[in-house]
A and B are shown apart, each in its own frame.
Chain A
Amino acid sequence: MRSKVTLARLVRNPQARYGLLALVLLLALAYLGPFFGPYDWTEKDFMAFLSPPSADHWWGTTQIGQDVYAITLRGMQKSIVIGFLVALVSTGLAALVGAAAGYFGGWADKALMWGADLLLVLPSFLIIAIISPRLKGGSWLWFVLLLALFSWMITSRVVRSMTLSLREREFVLAARYMGIPAWKIILRHIVPNLSSLLIIDATINVSGAIIGEAALSFFGFGIQPPDVSLGTLIAAGSDKVTGYPWLFLFPAGLLVLLVLSVNLIGDGLRDALDPGSNK
């Protein structure tokens, strides 16, 4: 019943509707757009280096003659996948670990939070830098896992402390006295009551992961050439922004649109899940 009611409320929310529409359009652009462009993202046009947007190259070309339209869309595909997966894994991990630690307390709490603290003090950048060369040739999914592994700890600490107060609430007691198993209580009563926090965290994580991936790629980890992501494109284009703005503006603009639409959906979802809002 809850999912039905939530969905109805989500669709009724104008903010969420625009966000969803924008996201669908962006996804369509990323995955269908390349079929309409005149160039493939691997092609290089040696007749046009750094040429501004024109009828031939819609969004211009790079210094080695790549079509900006084609590579930006290719990069966006990667970024979308990385951003969403990292956000999903990291927020999910934060919610589960934090809620479990807070709900069970005692040794489980100590062990889980000790693990979280340990990950917090480890220099994540260094570890990723050390591990990523070994993953060369492996799937980029490893990269997603690494990014997620180092971004859930602070949220999970917040989730834990909120769970501590939720645990004492009477509806949780009621569920316990009903004979509902602990993991079901966590998933059904605790996590939904933290959804405002988690949704905001997830939307921030989407943008955080896209930007974090860009930073790592800049230093040569993560997405490696010839493959591209929005991050690598922005990094490459940022120093030429005054002379050749199209190198920077198109990927950066798409990143902003992407994060914005995700945020809109997040806000809408939060309102839909929260019976307190009357939208």
Chain B
Amino acid sequence: MNEPTTGRDAPILEVNDLNVTFRGGIKAVRGVSYRLDRGEVLGIVGESGSGKSVTSLAVMGLLPEGTEISGSVKLHGKELIGAREEELTRLRGKSVSMIFQDPLSAFTPVYTIGDQIAEAVRIHQKVGKDQAAKRAVELLDLVGIPRPDLRAKAFPHEFSGGMRQRAMIAMAVANDPDVLICDEPTTALDVTIQAQVLEVLKTAQRETGAGIVMITHDLGVVAGLADRVLVMYAGRPVETGAVDEIYYRPRQPYTMGLLASIPRMDRPTERLIPIEGNPPSPAALPPGCPFAPRCPLKVEACDDVEPELERIGPGGRMSACIRSHEIDLKGLDGATVYPVPEAPADPGERTPRAERETVLKADDLVRHYPLMKGAVFKRQVGTVYAVDGISFDIAQGETLALVGESGCGKTTTLQQIMQLQAPEGGTVVVLGKDSAKLGKAERKALRRDLQIVFQDPMAALDPRMPVGDILAEPLRAHGYKDAKAIRTRIDELLTLVGLAPEHAERYPQHFSGGQRQRIGIARALALEPKLIVLDEPVSALDVSIQAGVINLLEDLKVRLGLSYLFVAHDLSVVRHLADRVAVMYLGKIAEIGAVDEVYGAPAHPYTRALLSAIPLPDPELERSRTRILLEGDLPSPADPPSGCRFRTRCPKRALLDEAEARKCAEVEPTVVRLAPAGDHGAACHYPENTEAVAAPGV
């Protein structure tokens, strides 16, 4: 291919004033410009709806017909906007490749992984079938898939999520592309797998020398990977610059707020700073600066005209704010600019944990699912050990977090508790009452005190019910008869969670994600429960919204004396919200104890790996820290390893001698208290007692 002659430092991809307008006049992207050099990683950051994905789809020419696209996208100096479809098809996968968020839907289920990668090779290169198949195996080896020759013959559903994403990367780099566009490539993955995939991505970039456009909402991922960052808000770039500049010296209020609102694992005690309000809908943008309604630095001039992206420093440092220079001069940052919401007064000295009432106690809880086969005559072919003997307790006024990767049995545990039925094995005692011995009326009465907040705020609220009815439902079920009393209580609840009473007549879909989650919380609070189970309550929310909900949960806990059982996979949020934490692995508790002790001195190798896998929104720390990378995936809970369940992935096993290793394979460790004084236990034969590895200062 003869490329147009370009200078050595000419960008491979150059986007200039890109505008995308969907049918119906919705302006999704407004004036995005960036350039990508060879071997460079550009992070595009923004909340959902900020137009970051649409931008990349426009670059690939993958937007639906009827979408108006203007501006210019140049690949090696060649214009792509308005290019013919055949030409774009030739470029896609060859010069520009894309990695999507959901790796399952990105593969065709009926062909083997190897065939699909080989197909990608054969489309753009003139090679024979055998050679393409060979190349596919090489590529799978490159992305770290064990025994690639065998795995190439596997079908997509036989791969785990992390492996699929790696195969996706293998396919994307199959033709040595110049540009790799990654759209939230690790959002659907667990942290330890995310760390693996990011590592693979770095390898792939080293091998191909491609430029990467990394689209994500996770500021931690960007901090560790990107060279330059572009922050988007309401379809527009609002700030751009080198990664350190953006993280340490943000000059645009939105970026400042975004960085201040992230819960940090290394700064757990600070109160989170939410950005008030919601991002504007692209159909109804405010006049002037779109961020002005939420901005703490707003002045009157902000409403006059939308600020352009202006140069504020060397090295392509640009910001779209009329007060950028002022911020620069005064050296303001998010923590000083944004109002820190006041924490409710702590009720002072609390009685020691041992003397407080125990609201929930699970003892040796077991839940196995039979694995059935056959359509007509079902027979059991195995057992899924979803939860295999876990014990914990929650004292009044305390938050216990249950953390672990998907498939570790968190959700099953939670369901066992919520059902208030006799568990398969062990006992669940809620507020002093054994769930196995409850009568029907007692169970219903107990439900008053045990409520739940779900993960997905859309699915948790009946879409056909106005908010008022949703909140009235638990009230009516538990004996509120008087319509007026119900109405008063609904108003109270809505105010309590920061909404207005007149919201009662609207439907859930008229609210944003954060507001819906607040409605979910209000419903859980309706009957003044003693214990609330939180099932990943903030994982579906954007960062700036998440901070507000976390603060709300903290406030309510103090004000109403609630206890939480908090299930999460985000360890930074856990650090912020929880008093104690239990780390689960394959249906067992690996480590349990007070948050500070577990995070400060993790004893179980799994906890250590988990903590080190979390990306921190701090570029310098990210560069300096060493990661403990776990190998492989979570074993199937239907066939857990003998002895210690973690031994197949344990980084510590390499350091053990034969006799010690045999103990791991033969004897199953139980949770042992590490120090007689502390609240900290781990299920490991050889627990660690050195200092934390997660990050300096943790």
Contact = CB atoms under 8 A, between A and B. Distances in A.
Interface of A: 1-2, 5, 169-171, 173-175, 177-180, 184, 188-189, 192-193, 195, 273-276
B464 A174 contact: no
B507 A1 contact: no
B510 A275 contact: yes
A179 B462 contact: no
Contacts, number: 73
B509 A276 contact: yes
Given A178-B473, A179-B443, A180-B473, A171 B462 contact: yes
Q: Which 7 residue pairs across A and B have the least CB separation, nearest first?
A: A275-B507, A179-B447, A170-B460, A170-B454, A179-B444, A171-B462, A170-B459
How many chain B residues sit at the interface, stated as a range, is 20 to 34
Best-surrounded residue of A178, A195, A275 (most CB of chain B within 10 A): A178
Interface of B: 418, 443-444, 447-448, 450-452, 454-456, 459-466, 468-469, 472-474, 477-478, 504-505, 507-510, 523
B459 A171 contact: yes
A103 to B, nearest CB: 15
A171 B461 contact: yes
B460 A2 contact: no
Given A170-B456, A171-B459, A179-B443, A5 B473 contact: no
B505 A275 contact: no
B463 A193 contact: yes
Nearest to A5: B466
B470 to A, nearest CB: 8
Nearest to B465: A2
Given A193-B463, A274-B464, A179 B477 contact: yes
10 contacts: A1-B505, A5-B466, A170-B454, A170-B459, A174-B452, A174-B454, A178-B473, A178-B478, A179-B478, A189-B465
Best-surrounded residue of A179, A188, A192 (most CB of chain B within 10 A): A179
A2 B478 CA distance: 20
Contacts of B456: 170
Contacts of B463: 171, 193, 275-276
Contacts of A169: 459
Given A179-B477, A195-B464, A275-B464, A174 B443 contact: no
Contacts of B468: 1
A175 B524 CA distance: 11
Nearest to B461: A171
A171 B460 contact: yes
Dominant secondary structure at the A interface? helix
B464 A177 contact: no
B447 A178 contact: yes
B213 to A, nearest CB: 34
Contacts of B448: 179
A177 B529 CA distance: 13
B466 A1 contact: yes
Contacts of A184: 477
A171 to B, nearest CB: 4
A275 B447 contact: no
A275 B455 CA distance: 22
Contacts of A274: 464
B444 to A, nearest CB: 4
Contacts of A193: 462-464
A126 B455 CA distance: 53
A203 to B, nearest CB: 19
Contacts of B461: 171
Contacts of A174: 452, 454, 460, 523
A20 B450 CA distance: 46
B327 to A, nearest CB: 41
A170 B454 CA distance: 7
Given A174-B523, A179-B477, A192 B464 contact: yes
A238 B462 CA distance: 49
Contacts of B469: 1-2
Nearest to B456: A170
B509 A178 contact: no
A275 B467 CA distance: 12
B466 A273 contact: no
Contacts of B460: 170-171, 174
A87 to B, nearest CB: 21
A178 B462 contact: no
Nearest to A174: B460
A188 B447 CA distance: 19
A44 B201 CA distance: 91
Contacts of B473: 175, 178, 180, 188
B443 to A, nearest CB: 7
Nearest to A178: B474
Contacts of B444: 179
A2 B476 CA distance: 15
Contacts of A171: 459-463
B452 A177 contact: yes
Contact of A178 (B454, B477, B505, B507): B477
A155 B468 CA distance: 31
